[in-house]
Structure 1
Amino acid sequence: MAELEEWVWNKLADRCNKTTIEDQTKQMIKIEVLLAITAAFLVFLGVFGSFRRRCSNGAFAMVGFAAYTLMPAVIAYSLGLIQNAPFCAIELPIWATYLVVALRNMDSYTAHSMGDIERWKSFNVDSAAKLILTSWMILKYAILAGPIMGILLVALFIKVDRRGQALKLASNSVMQKNYRFIADYMSTEHLLGDSSDEDPATMRGYRYLVRVADEAKVHSLCSMHSLCSMAKWRQKEAPWLDGDAPHYRQLLNSTDEVITVEKVWNCEGRLLSARGGDPDGRLKDLCLSFSLFEFICLRFAGYSLPGEAHKKLCHLIRRLLSEENGYERIFRVIELELAFLFDLFYTKYPVNVHLRRSVYRMLLLPIAVAIPLILLYVAISDGFVIMATITVFFMTSILVVELTQFGIMIFSEWAKVKYICTYVRSEWWQRNRCAGKLIEILCRVWLVKPWGRQLRQYSLLKSYSYSPSKWIYNGLTAGYLDRKRNGQKQLDPTNLSKEVKMAISRSLGKYLVMEQASLRRNDVSDELSWACNLETTTHVIMVWHIATTFCEHEVPCAQLSEEQRDNFGIATKLSQYLAYLVVFAPRLLPGHPCRTDYIFDRAVGEARELFGGSSVSMEEQIQKLKTVIDNEQCQETIVGRGARLGMQLVNGAADQWQIWKVLADFWADIMLYVAPSNDTAAHARYLTTGGEFVTHVWVLVSHAGITRDPPSGKQYDDLERS
């Protein structure tokens, strides 16, 4: 009996031991799989995160959102498995440390949307909790391998997480405090010198701030004008003087440490000379872009520039437009402004551009490589091939991301502005040709372009019959996918041509001088003004869009001369782009988005009722549009009005040249009309999906002081300037 009892207990013990080994194996496999997933997320976010500002691909955006959302959850779950592991292994605390380091490596993907920015406190708390948990695990294993664990602990604290700091810097409340100083300065900047002595060609009199001293005693100001470096409390004179009653506006204590646009243009060093390292003026324009970027930040902070400051900017804009290829230059400056804005909101580059950050990264790289190599040797020696493979994969992913982020950071626009300002401030740098050549090389490298330079397109007559798949868009997927409506099918995007930019610039230049809309300039205001004074801006866009499509069929591009083809391309591209904004980005247009959506849905319904099924060719659609003109029931619909306007353009024009000249000028003017907006968050949102051209025009008209406050009942023809 005793022997049988002993045999039973032995069998149970063997089974328990076997179960424990199986559980350990399963848990180790779980941890290894999660490490591989984390490494894949890390590489995607770290390497490709910066491409969001120029990539409009929907699949790319979806993968980025999935990786951004799931990565913290996967890391937290992995840390929990490592913490509760019923066995001891030196790999566990090392993997835990690398998980936390991975979480801190998303420099190029700090926030997915504007909503994430306001949650900077929660990110700090979450980061601190993971740091404490990982530190405790390292200390727990200190007896097993003291020196290695100590190095890991040091490396963990060296890799300081700046994500919360970056988000805090971009949060609305902090921006309001930071830019109060800029608002005070800009309210008096135009009074610092004689306005008659201002010269946009040499930037004389343009004392727009580029960089203030690093040693500023004002914490909030130092966070931005020291290129967002950490505030330093040193015993040096603050660049800002306290304001006096009754306005209490702070004044700038102008010193050699303060770099302005005027100082950059007056720099006599070879780097910034036309015969030296800056023949096309791109390096100077980079500093101008950074200075003007701060004016856009004023909009986000709720401040506005005084009228005199807008007049000064208008003078500068007119000077740029008067140059040969000035339209290319002005849009290049705006591209860089929005690149700075994207980095401020969605990356950590503004707080990482500092010598101390670079030193920390360089110190961490040897540690990141050495310890996994030691671990790899131990794992191979003990025969753990899979464990060694996972370690190598995870080590390689962090190393790739570290090197990529370091490269992007030193070639970022923020770093280039700092290099140039240091050059302007230091006479030794200006005399040293090697230093100037090094900065020139660094500033000529562009790893990530500012944006994709594309216009998204939509055509009502080509997409009205589209119906979204109910297998994809239904009640079950409504919580995960944006709802698609009938007729909401986007065409392939087209490249932003120089003709389009030239048309916008030409229209703005004529408006700033003559303050006349395109119809009056082309002497067709009396005949076509009815189509500009419709109920809403959405009505105007859709009616003229249908009319442009009508003319595109009746007067095709093949029949036009080269000059006429330019106007044809301008009109058709902007027509389909404005229609795209109606359908896919109504927040960027005047009027309430829900109202815009409803009007579009009604237009799709009218087109379906008139044209029928999807098999109707474009020729049949045009013929039906011609018959609609005499139908009293259709005369007040969007489709009927579009047909009427199209016939009026085709029959009333003296020649084909005038049709496309009128349409090209009209669409350029209406781009200027719809661009002014107070919904700054909407423009910031679309920066993460490749950006929109209307945002670039919004920056341009904001600098020019153009607003859109038409009297009741007037929708387009009364463009106003503040």
Structure 2
Amino acid sequence: MPLSHTNYSTLLSCDPTMVGFVQNMTAPYADKSNESSVVAISVIMFILAAVFFDLNLFSRVSRVSAVLNPTVRLFLAGSLNLFLPVMSYLFSEAKKDPAYDCGSGNNLGESGASESSNSDLSLLARVILTWMLLVELLRKKVEATLVTGAGMQGYSSIITHTASVVWMGNLVFTNLKASGKKALFGILWVLCAAKLVQRVAITETARRSLAHGKNARLISSYMAQLPKLRPVLHGGADASSLEQCEYAVMGEENMVVKAGPQGYELDLSLAATDAVVTVGKIWQSKDHPRMKRLCLSFALFKLLRRRFENLPPATKQETDECRDLILDGMCKDAQAAGDIPAEVALFQVLNDEVNFVTEYYHSVLPVVFASPYFIVVNYLCFPVVVFGLCVMTIVLCSNGVIIYAFQSLRDDNFAVSKGIISLTECLWKNVIRSPRVFFSIIDVSICYLLFIAVIYEEVSEFIVLLLSDWFMVSLLSTFCAKPRWRQSTTFRTAFRCVVWVRRNLRRYPSLITIKQLSVLRTCSLSAMTLPTATLPKRAKRSILERFRGAAQDDGGGSGGAAPPPLSNGRTALSMDKHRDRFYALAWACESGGVAEVILIWHIATTLLERKHSPQPEGRRSRRTAVRLSRYCAYLVAFRPELLPGDREGTKRVYKDMKEQLKAALGGTRWSYYFSSERTRHDKVQAIPDKLPREYPHADMTVIDMTPTPASLVDEAGKAGNNGGAAVWEMLADVWVELVVYVSPSSVEEHAKGHEEALVQGGELVTLLWVLATHTGIARPDDDDEVDQPAPAFV
């Protein structure tokens, strides 16, 4: 039986004026008929609030980001879809249940004539309504800022958001009677409605903007007309000169005259003025090389958007010029600047470009619009307007009586008049004495967590935008377009402060990390559990050299013997330094698909890694070969959509390989999942020794065709004592060749696969796909017509 008011009051060591309020707050947990449901919803709500709190407070300690993991977003989106109807039901139950009735003002310990009315909401109902409003303020955490196309999905999300805000406004203004309570909850509702209006305004403005939603089509028109502009401005200037590069960074929307049947008609003469900021103008400034390369990444990002939005692809002339610009001009500039090696600069530019793409399509914050103008409007002007609306709401809830309005805001809300801190102290003093108080502490903690999460979300959003690459590009473009800003001491000081804060708080991903999977180790069921490793410098340098070689083979070079085209490993074996010793192993590259070749060489590399350790001169090659081998195996197992060929076919190859490995280990699930790594190596290594190695047979499996460590070392023995280093150098070249080979693709399915992989954190093969897209490098067996535009719908 619940304790009587008198007996329960004697247990509380609180201010006498607070005892009645605490009793009312803990009353729902004394009702045995509803105790289990009330406790369950409090615990579930506490978990949800803790998740929001953690995402807002701790997710950006190590990395400033505007992108949320899709798995987390899916969980939160599902939770919020159930949150409103469940909470609405509990609200209605708390509102009509006599056990939760607010009672008289004396019992509550609250003052004011309005509190003596039994027609107002119960305390539990008000707590639930507070949760609903605070969670609605955090809704944007799970909704991406859509800036491309209208789409039913985008509008349906806005309609759902609008229905939630309207419904909660109905709950606030039709159920609360006391002026002070209505004003307090009305303020929270006004904040929710303002966030909705802000989101709709930003989304619709972006979709209709030539600088954002329509920018891909504008850039397509600009690049088509750019050859007419370049001879006028630069004559016969070197196409690989960054100082002469006319790729648009910002301001290209100022050139639009009108929309025509073949795209936008542009006034190209404005490109020579301060109205348009180009890469060349940025490069002619005296800014830090890192900032210049960031602007180059932004310009390349604008070019890449055409690939994701089914617009006409780059022409042969454009890819040739871009190839010279990136592989020649930018790398030479990095070497001349002396801040970082050429290969590091290349991957830095590609990584920044992919980050721009990721944040553009998957950001949960309006980071795309970060600029000085947006900061002023969104974080200075808009809060002033919202503050005025809140004041107006307070006054309207008291029928226009201004003095009474602000007095009732304090008098009608006991937690405001007595202080939420005092209430919390009272509950903590009595948490051991009563389980009812313990669960009430949970309810109060939920309010604390949600409130702190809301405040922190607003602060962190401003910080993220201020430290974002978008804001930095906007600042650099603004300074470049307005020379008088550069002459202003105030603006120069502010700019240096932003750069200093950004350099000290934002951690640049200078290292490229890649997932590592070994099929001869314990099986992994999820890519999330796989370890990661950094991409070695030797691998970066070799990848750059191979792309340069592929560019020469495609006609980008001049004079000399053209290097062989991209291949699935055979080209590496035919190199002068490997041909005599290792070309006999070229049959291992004769498989029908690249997935099989990857698995064959992966198993061979894994076996050799355990059997033979190289001399010091071969350790860098060994590191490159092992890490790229494990990364390619990860692509086959978990990212088949990023590899050439059909996705289902790649999955079948990997499934067949697992069945072969299971048969080699004994044919049982137990032996497959729980056998040691040493056992796996020994069993697999023993299989190929029983079969002839000269030519592959149609019935040979992936494991059957794997070159053994003995065969690799025997071939390397022709090199004398340096055979071990030679083997690892050969394997490193094979894996570099394979990684470069699988990256180019003109298939729309692969482009969508890369776009979906961005929100997962990006992939090395995606960076190389971006580079191949810009430079026009393709595989010889890619039969798609790259120069044929995909259907574009206006």
Residue of structure 1 equivalent to 2:777: 706
Cross-structure match for 1:136: 170
The 3 A distance-change label for structure 1 pair 106 and 337 is farther
Does 2:639 match 1:618? Answer: no
Aligned position for 2:230: 193
Which residue type is aligned with residue 184 of structure 1?
Answer: S
How many residues are paired up? 641
Q: Deviations over 1:433-475 (max 9, x none)?
A: 3133223224424546559732212223334xx4x8xxxxxxx
What's the offset of the Cα at 1:665? 1.4
Q: Secondary structure at the match of 2:143?
A: coil
Instruction: Give the equivalent residue in structure 1 for 2:356.
Output: 340
Alignment of 1:657-696 (within 5 A): 657-677=725-745, 678=747, 679-696=750-767
Please give the secondary structure, in 2, of the residue aligned with 1:643. coil
1:311 to 313, 317, 320: 320
Contact kept in structure 1, 2:245 and 2:279, CA below 8 Å: yes
Contact 1:453 1:496 in 2 (8 A): yes
Distance 1:168 1:610, change over 3 A: farther
* Matched AA of 1:211: M
Tell me the amino acid that sits aligned with residue 138 of structure 2. N
How far apart are the structure 2 equivalents of 1:633 and 1:309? Answer: 45
Tell me, in whole angstroms, the C-alpha distance in 2 between the residues paired with 1:121 and 1:284: 38
Aligned CA distance change for structure 1 residues 92 and 598 (closer, same or farther; 3 Å): same
Q: For 2:531, what is the secondary structure of its paired residue? A: strand
Question: What is the aligned counterpart of 1:210 among 236, 241, 249?
Answer: 249
Using the size of structure 2 for normalisation, the TM-score is 0.70
1:246–1:159 distance in 2 versus 1, CA, 3 Å: closer
Contact 1:242 1:251 in 2 (8 A): no
* Cα distance between partner residues in 2 of 1:629 and 1:168: 67
Q: 1:428 to 1:246 in 2, by over 3 A?
A: closer
- Identity among equivalent positions (%) equals 22
SS in 1 for 2:196: coil
Counterpart for residue 503 of structure 2: 444
| Distance across 1 between alignment mates of 2:45 and 2:599 | 51
Q: Report the Cα distance in structure 1 between the residues aligned to 2:473 and 2:769, rounded to whole angstroms.
A: 24
**Equivalent position of 2:366 in the other structure:** 349
User: What pairs with 1:450-599 in structure 2 (closer than 5 Å)?
Assistant: 453-463=512-522, 466=523, 492-513=531-552, 514-516=562-564, 517-522=571-576, 524=578, 527-554=584-611, 556-557=612-613, 559-562=614-617, 564-599=618-653
Specify the code of the residue in structure 2 equivalent to 1:552: E
The equivalent position to 1:289 in structure 2, one of 294, 297, 313, is 297
1:586-618 CA-partner distances (Å, limit 9, x unpaired): 111011121111112222222333343425253
Deviation, 1:258, is 2.1
Q: Which residues of structure 1 form unaligned runs of 5+? A: 1-16, 217-237, 273-277, 469-483, 713-717
Q: Secondary structure at the match of 1:210?
A: strand
Alignment match, 1:429: 485
1:709 Cα deviation from its structure 2 partner = 5.1
Deviation readout 1:610-631 (Å, 9 max, x if unpaired): 3434252534543443334469
Aligned residue in 2 for 1:638: 702
Change (3 A) 1:375 1:288: farther
Cα distance change on mapping 1:70 and 1:391 into 2, 3 Å: closer
Cα distance between partner residues in 1 of 2:64 and 2:665? 37
3-state SS of paired residue (1:207): coil
Of the structure 1 ranges 195-204 and 426-435, higher mean CA displacement relative to structure 2 is found in 195-204
8 Å Cα contact 2:549/2:563 also seen in 1: yes
**Structure 2 matches for 1:260-409, cutoff 5 A?**
260-267=278-285, 272=287, 278=288, 281-303=289-311, 304-319=313-328, 320-322=330-332, 323-324=334-335, 325-347=341-363, 348-350=365-367, 353=370, 354-355=374-375, 356-359=377-380, 375-378=415-418, 385=427, 386=440, 388-409=444-465
1:40 aligns with 2:50: yes
Report if the CA contact (8 A) 2:84-2:164 is conserved: no
Letter in 1 for 2:51: F
SS in 2 for 1:641: coil
Deviates more, 1:69-78 or 1:288-297: 69-78
Q: Note closer, same or farther for the CA distance 1:390–1:462 as it changes in structure 2 (3 Å cut).
A: closer
1:549 counterpart SS class: helix
Hey, what does 2:401 align to over in structure 1?
A: none
Give the corresponding residue for 2:658.
Answer: 604
User: Cα offset for 1:210?
Assistant: 1.5
Indicate the larger mover: 108-117 or 334-343.
108-117
Q: 1:287 to 1:139 in 2, by over 3 A?
A: same
Cα 1:669–1:150 shift into 2, 3 Å: same
The offset of 1:400, in angstroms, is: 2.2
Q: Do the aligned partners of 1:75 and 1:99 also contact (CA within 8 Å) in 2?
A: yes
Distance in 1 separating the partners of 2:415 and 2:382: 22
8 Å contact kept, 1:243–1:251:
no
SS across alignment from 1:642: coil
Q: Distance in 1 between matches of 2:382 and 2:187?
A: 15
The 1:460–1:507 alpha-carbon spacing in structure 2 relative to 1, beyond 3 Å, is same
CA contact (8 A) 1:705 1:721 kept: no
Sort the Cα spacing of 1:451 and 1:308 in 2 relative to 1 into closer, same or farther, 3 A. Answer: same
Summarize deviations over 1:60-115 as a string: whole Å, max 9, x none.
87555423421342244324433562351588568646634533435564349999
The one-character-per-residue Cα deviations of 1:186-230 (angstroms, maximum 9, x if unpaired) are: 1222442137644578622211121227xx6xxxxxxxxxxxxxx
1:537 maps to amino acid? V
Please identify the structure whose Cα radius of gyration is greater: 2
Structure 1, 416-425 or 385-394: larger mean CA deviation = 385-394
Offset at 1:578? 0.7
Aligned-partner residue type, residue 193 of structure 1: R
Aligned match of 2:711: 647
Aligned partners of 1:111 and 1:117 also within 8 Å:
no
Change (3 A) 1:30 1:352: farther
Does the 8 Å contact 2:298/2:356 carry over to 1? yes
Seen in structure 2, the aligned counterparts of structure 1 residues 22 and 637 have a Cα distance that, compared at 3 Å, is closer
User: What amino acid sits opposite 2:503 in the alignment?
Assistant: R
Q: Secondary structure at the match of 2:660?
A: helix
Q: Match for 1:103 among 118, 128, 136?
A: 136
Distance 1:79 1:553, change over 3 A: same
Cα distance in 1 between the residues matched to 2:752 and 2:686: 43
- Three-state SS of the structure 1 residue aligned to 2:244 is coil
